[in-house]
Amino acid sequence: MTAEPAADPATDLVQPILDWYDANARDLPWRRPEASAWSVLVSEFMLQQTPVVRVLPVHEAWLERWPTPAALAADSSGEAVRAWGRLGYPRRALRLHAAATAITEQHGGEVPSSYDDLLALPGVGDYTAAAVAAFAHGQRQVVLDTNVRRVLARAVSGVEFPPRSVTRAERDLGAALLPADPPTAATWSVAVMELGALVCTADRPRCDSCPVRAACAWQAAGAPAYDGPPRPVQAWAGTDRQCRGRLLAVLRDAPGAVGKERLDAAWDVTEQRERALGSLLDDGLVVRTSDGLYALP
């Protein structure tokens, strides 16, 4: 009896996912042909731990106000924090402002295309550098966000969730699956990401709608439940993060600096409020003026 050939992920996964993406991709402004590299970079900062539906209106308003890195760099970092609104993790606004300043001063106002130059920008890590190089400049890069890692963990490795941090094995697998043609490789990267966002989701995956279900190692194994270290669950109500958000909301909505009593009224647990305010000052998200008031930087 002739043995059946072993499954080849590059054959069984890549083209079906590319075909699926061609038919199912969401129309997002940072993916359109006319999108600037700046639009892509802004979207990558905003999409970190924030759903697309919340990012869309803020991204649009941001690009209208600051259509180039130089426009943002010319404004204050406090205005960046104000415009960030309620996207969460507002230090991203400070880092994006710092990145815009670096782009303006070091790259003539143009978002660089090389991975190394992107990685050197404030607030840009491995994923963001690879994503911008791929999605804005059509390069062949291994792009491993949470969605991509989950799809590859299930489809190829047969486990429900990937490890907590990116491993060398994941990078090697990502590189092995990349199509040789750079533009196709860039499309593949965003296609896997989209599949993870819409179908191969963390909770209640839509396996019946998956274009590679027949080749999925996790499905072939009976979809075994995750048995690794506990996955972190992000709480919100009553946390220091919520307190920080309340204090920032007071400052965002104020036309100028405010007195301490305005901040005290925003949160009634004194010790936690003081701790949150101290951390905002340490992070540079809030400044204390010479007359003892509080404001955005």
- Percent of the chain that is helix, strand, coil (3-state, to 5): 55, 0, 40
Q: CA-based diameter of the chain, in Å?
A: 87
Structure tokens at 11: 């054959």
Q: How many CA atoms lie within 13 A of 255 on its CB side?
A: 0
Cβ-count burial of 279 within 10 angstroms (0-12 exposed, 13-18 middle, 19+ buried)? middle
Cβ 250 vs Cβ 262: under 8 Å = yes
CA separation for the pair 240, 255 (Å, rounded): 25
Q: Which residues contact 28 (CB under 8 A, 6 or more apart)?
A: 43, 52, 56
Tell me, yes or no, if 194 is annotated catalytic: no
Active-site hit among 44, 160, 170, 194: 44
In order, the DSSP letters of 113-150 are -SHHHHHTSTT--HHHHHHHHHHTT--------HHHHH
β 287-288/294-295 pair status: antiparallel
Cβ 210 vs Cβ 150: under 8 Å = no
Chain Cα centroid distance, residue 54: 12
Residue with tokens 């949150």: 276
Is the backbone of residue 83 left (phi > 0), alpha (psi -120 to 50) or beta? Answer: alpha
Chain Cα centroid distance, residue 218: 26
Q: Could you give the residue numbers annotated as active site?
A: 44
